[in-house]
Structure formats: structure tokens, C-alpha cells
Amino acid sequence: MDELEYHRCPQARSGPPGIVKALPAEWFVPHGTNAEMRWDTLPGAGPDTPVERFFVRNHTSTPLIDPDGWRLRVFGSGLRGPAVEFGLAELRRLPETALSAVIECAGNGRRFYATQQRQAVPGTPWELGGIGAARWRGVRLAEVLRRAGIVPGAVDVLPVGLDPEYLGEDGTNYGHVRRPLPVAKAMDDVLLAYEMNGGPLLPDHGAPVRLVVPGWAGIASIKWVGSLEVSTEPLHSPWDTDFYRLFGPAHPPGGSAPLTCQVVKSAFELARGAVLEPGRRHRLYGRSWSGRAAVRQVRVSTDGGVLWHRAHLWDDPHPGTWTRWSFDWRPERPGPYELRARATDDLGGTQPDTAEFNREGYLFGAVVGHPVRVG
Ligand SMILES: Nc1nc2c(c(=O)[nH]1)N[C@H]1C(S)=C(S)[C@@H](COP(=O)(O)O)O[C@H]1N2
Ligand SMILES: [Mo]
């Protein structure tokens, strides 16, 4: 880490501290050190979220890392030999892979535990904008681990971020953001990404290199990765023991197993409380996604869940990323309406009417009521 030019960025002029890119109010809702994407900015956007509009979830602040000095150190009992280091140019010379994937915060939708279910939960009160989709390019983590000499008995890989150490509200120092990844997932579809939507990663999204762990809670996709410990013994960090498990009445005292896949969700590309003109046709756009499989079908209700209609899908559904859809609606009578969307994925996973409570408010997968006014 000595050779890194690694420092905190100056305070952003407006919005959350520690984020480098501009956060105009028409694109983002600020939440502490995080910035939520506003869904009403998406109509007309392609399948991927433009990088300047992609949500940011920072535990601390975005570090500015000199790509020429950056090195990825791979070490641990799960390697045949000593530690191996890779520079950015070396990674770029390895076989490259591109994939489309959403990154979604496990707490996305958390606000609806309070507003729809009257269940108070702490943490960032995301509506549904703690998600973005991109075309990622990089090298497979499996390729790097193989070149580093991973042994068959390896069980966990622990990527560590180069952002500042994370301090809890009570002052506890949790150290650098890091979360073990089981070898089975690490050797499957995980990418060490150096490009996003055809350009280099932005500092806020993990430059020079981040992990992209398709389908899994966003915390797995460690940004600004500086090292990977590969181990033949299970590894742990507060991010898989204290955070990002489900705690609560439905779960054992130590919590559920660490979170992996995200659940099925849907969102309208419309402001909550949007006003629509009566007596004309409105094309309601939205997107649905699932961490486990491609989205197969989406149904929309414009009357609070009484009648449901099949939405038109605009994308060939792919696992790992979202599917765009639309529904044409011609409301005649002025007044308040509640829109709903419910998606079903290829494994039959769908969206319930209520999400099962957990103390931290993760994985809100229930159908979200979307109020609009016709008039
Ligand atoms: N090093 C590091 N990696 C991190 C984080 C972080 O704070 N530090 N936040 C995680 C969380 S909780 C999420 S949801 C995603 C957000 O990625 P984005 O900011 O590029 O949208 O990054 C993950 N990777
Ligand atoms: Mo997250």
C-alpha cells in the first residue's frame, strides 16, 4: 500500500460528503455518505444506467487511487506458493470478459418497511434507487485466482477495499470494508472490473478495479480492491457476521446465513406522486430484476392491486440484470391512483404483498405501491 497515492477526497460541494462526481438534485437523493438514483430520470435511457447517474453507496469516502501505482496483492493459505501481485496493465493483458449486471444495495427499498408495513428499521432509507445496471468489462476473478495458484482446498476469498477504515456510530473501528466470498462463487461468474459502460471506472464506483458479483447483495462487489486473501479455512469480517445477515424473530440468534442473492423487485420510471393528465394514453415504463434468475413476466395494476395486466417486456430477459417493461394506461377519471408492479423470475420467484421483517431492513421484495394523481 506504500506505493499508492491514496487519500481522502475533498468534501463534495453539495450532497453527500466523500463522493467525487456531481450529484445534481434532479438525478439523486442524498442520504449521508450515499446518493440514491431517482427513477423518474430513467425513461428513455438504455438498458444500462449512465455512469454519471449511477447510485453511490460509500461506507466512508471515495479514495483517489493512482492507477499506475495500484497493485492487487493475492495471498493466503489457499495458494500453492507465496503472494502474487498484479498491476493494472497486467490485468488488462489477461483474457477479458464483459457482462451486464445490476449492482443493488441489500437495503434497497428499506424505506417501505416503515411506510408500507409500519416496521421501523435503522439504516439508509432507500426507496428503490439503490440500484444501477452497467456493462462491466474486466478479467474473471477465477482467471486471476488460477494464475495466483489457488489450491483445490481453498474455501474463501476475502477482497479488501482501499477506502478509509469504517467507524460505526458508536466509534467502533470495523477496519477496511471487506467481505468473504465463497470460492464456488468466486470461481464462477465474478469479475474484477476495470471498465463500466465502455469507459474506465469512475472513482466513486471503484477505480481502478472493483469486484462485480452478479446477483448478490451489493456489498459483495467490493470497490477499490487492493488485496485478496485466499484461505483453506473459512474467513470472516463484520460484513458477514454483524452486517448483511437477517436478524429478527424469524431467524436464529446469530442471524441467518450471510446474504447472497438479491430478491425479485420492480420499479416504475416515474416520480412518486407524479401527476398524469386524464383522458389520454400514458405509457408507464418500469424495470424488474431478480438476483437468482432472469425476469420472465411482469404484471401491472393501476387500481391498487384489484386487476392485473401483463406488461410488455422490452428486453430479452437475462439473469444478473434488469428487464425493461411498459404498460399503456388511459385513465379517464381524475383522482388519486395506486400503481403496482409484480415480477416473476424464471425460477418462479415472485414478489409477495409483504416482505418478511428483519431488524436491518434488508431485502424488501414486496410489491411497492406507487401513488400517482390523475388530474
Ligand atoms: N470498498 C468498498 N466497497 C464497497 C462499498 C464500500 O463502502 N467500500 N460499499 C458496498 C455496497 S454496500 C454497495 S451497495 C456497493 C455500491 O456500489 P456503487 O457505489 O458503485 O453503486 O458497493 C459495495 N462495495
Ligand atoms: Mo449496499
- In contact, 352 and 367? CB cutoff 8 Å: yes
Q: Does the structure show a pLDDT above 50 at 6? A: no
pLDDT tens for each residue of 7-19:
334 444 455 679 9
Among 8-12, 329-333, 355-359, the minimum mean pLDDT is found in: 8-12
Q: Residue 222: CB within 6 Å of ligand 1?
A: yes
Q: Residue 37: CB within 6 Å of ligand 1?
A: no
Cell matching residue 365? 421484495
Q: Residue 163: CB within 6 Å of ligand 1?
A: yes
The domains of the chain, with CATH numbers, are: 63-231 (3.90.420.10), 265-374 (2.60.40.650)
Question: What number does the ligand 1 atom closest to the CA of 59 have?
Answer: 7
Q: Does the structure show a pLDDT above 70 at 30? A: yes
Cell matching residue 45? 435511457
The full DSSP string for 114-164 is: HHHH-----S----S-SEEEEEEEEEEHHHHHHHHTB-TT--EEEEEE-SP
Q: Does the structure show a pLDDT above 60 at 321? A: yes
Residue nearest to atom 16 of ligand 1 (CA): 57
Q: Does the structure show a pLDDT above 50 at 232? A: yes
Q: Residue 158: CB within 6 Å of ligand 1?
A: no
Q: Residue 20: CB within 6 Å of ligand 1?
A: no
The pLDDT assigned to 15 comes to 55
Average pLDDT, the chain: 95
Confidence of residue 221 (pLDDT cuts 50, 70, 90): very high
Q: How far is the CA of 221 from the centre of ligand 1 (A)?
A: 6
Distance CA 205, CA 212 (A): 11
Q: How far is the CA of 354 from the centre of ligand 1 (A)?
A: 27
pLDDT tens for each residue of 58-111:
999 999 999 999 999 999 999 999 999 999 999 999 999 999 999 999 999 999
Q: Residue 191: CB within 6 Å of ligand 1?
A: no
Residue nearest to atom 15 of ligand 1 (CA): 218
Residue nearest to atom 10 of ligand 1 (CA): 219
Q: Does the structure show a pLDDT above 80 at 308? A: yes
Residue of 97, 75, 253, 216 lying closest to 154 (CA atoms): 75
Q: Does the structure show a pLDDT above 80 at 55? A: yes
Q: Residue 245: CB within 6 Å of ligand 1?
A: no
Q: Does the structure show a pLDDT above 50 at 286? A: yes
The pLDDT assigned to 44 comes to 77
Confidence of residue 45 (pLDDT cuts 50, 70, 90): confident
- In contact, 56 and 36? CB cutoff 8 Å: no
Question: What number does the ligand 1 atom closest to the CA of 205 have?
Answer: 20
Ligand nearest to the CA of 16: 1
The pLDDT assigned to 13 comes to 45
pLDDT tens for each residue of 138-149:
999 999 999 999
What's the rounded mean pLDDT across residues 113-134?
Answer: 97
In this prediction the pTM is 0.95
Q: How far is the CA of 282 from the centre of ligand 1 (A)?
A: 36
- In contact, 213 and 190? CB cutoff 8 Å: yes
What percentage of the chain reaches a pLDDT higher than 70? 96
What percentage of the chain reaches a pLDDT higher than 90? 93
